[in-house]
Structure 1
Amino acid sequence: MKVQRKHMLAAGVAVMAAGALAVSTGLGFADSTPTAQSVCPGSITFSAEGGAPAATSNQFPVGTRLRVTNLDNARTAEVTVVGPSGSCVLLNSAAMDLVREPGKNVIRRNVVERLGGVAVPPRQPGQVADRPGVASPPAVRPVDGSACQGAITFFEEAAAPAATSDRFPVGTRLRVTNLDNNRSTTVTVTGPSGSCVLLNSAAMEQIREPGKNLVRNNTVELLR
């Protein structure tokens, strides 16, 4: 009889422990539900492009619809890819204003979701109408041998000229040339980002034209 009572007591303790674990999980003591899987790793920044909220991408074709969420303030922007760039997702000014925190030009904690369906992207200012015999000019001149394709932009950082990248490891040296003014900067990759090459403020100042936050015609060389 004593042996049975010991077994019953032990079973009761186990049931109580299991119940306590279930209650604690329900109250949020266990790990919270994970956020959606992001289709673009790394930080998100923006270009100086005007117009309605939109984005450019080196991964998704024109017309792809994306939802970008800033995890620091839970603000979201739904955008359509309107052209190529050097980033997985590069927001324009209007889209960035929907999600960024005041004074911040980079969204480090984010989730990018691909939405179903393909939208027709809005026509950008200056774009030639699509009619027989008239071709729209390319946004970026193709450059043979460039290590990165698409436009290049920057993020705010008070440091010596440097870059981040989703392709090249830390320590890689790159030479970035603005083909519109033939100005170059040599930078070292200091960390990851969502772009093939994302310059910091000091590096961008060395090559950009006054008032422009985007270098469309460029070449990126991998230095040995």
Structure 2
Amino acid sequence: MLVLALDTATPAVTAGVVELTDAGPVERSVRVTLDARKHAELLMPGVLAACAEAGVALRDVDAVVTGTGPGPFTGLRVGMVTAAALGDALDVPVHGVCSLDAIAADALAAAAALPGRLLVVTDARRREVYWALYDGALRDGDGAPRRVDGPHVEAPVTLAARAAALGAVAAAGASAAAVGLPEREPASPSPAGLVAVAAVALRSAERPGPLEPLYLRRPDAVEPGARKRVSAG
């Protein structure tokens, strides 16, 4: 099965073609560009370049996987809308996965056994971070790590103060340094990590549900309230 994997939940604009084999995900191509302000300009060129490098056309893709955050509103929407549009145009299923789960899958796949839990921490802006907690000993049918807490948004100093109480012994993600634990790669989701998280769903015959973004914050813009009545005189 050939899967197109996208993520724009972080400053890394990620696209790649992954082959989901019986042994797990195998990356055929990867395109990553770091630019927090140009997700819309960079994503489709990255998709086309990834397909060209893998030697496949978009019509050869069997499914699309996209990170659903948590992430800043504008960047996250670019990836999810692009994935939905491609799925519709190609008539293939589109699976959404938590971007923090994909980072955890990469971090735990590349590391030796972890004697405790892993925190995945990414930048939420406004002096806050997004985070989720994983137990590497708990895996799904395809080996993806199980999330045991989160995702949440919080001040990094608050998270750092209770990291030990959460049982965390290491951290991954672009803001891992903020919690004072030993750091592990990667900083952002890889195409293989995204597909690893979605592997069970991809192997099933069920059609995925609607994509649901993880913003974790209420929107800044609100509907205006009723106009105040002005009294005469």
- TM class, shorter-chain normalised? under 0.3
The structure where strand makes up a greater share of residues is 2
Query: 1 or 2, which has the higher helix percentage?
Result: 2
- TM normalised by structure 2 equals 0.25
Which structure is larger by alpha-carbon Rg, 1 or 2? 1
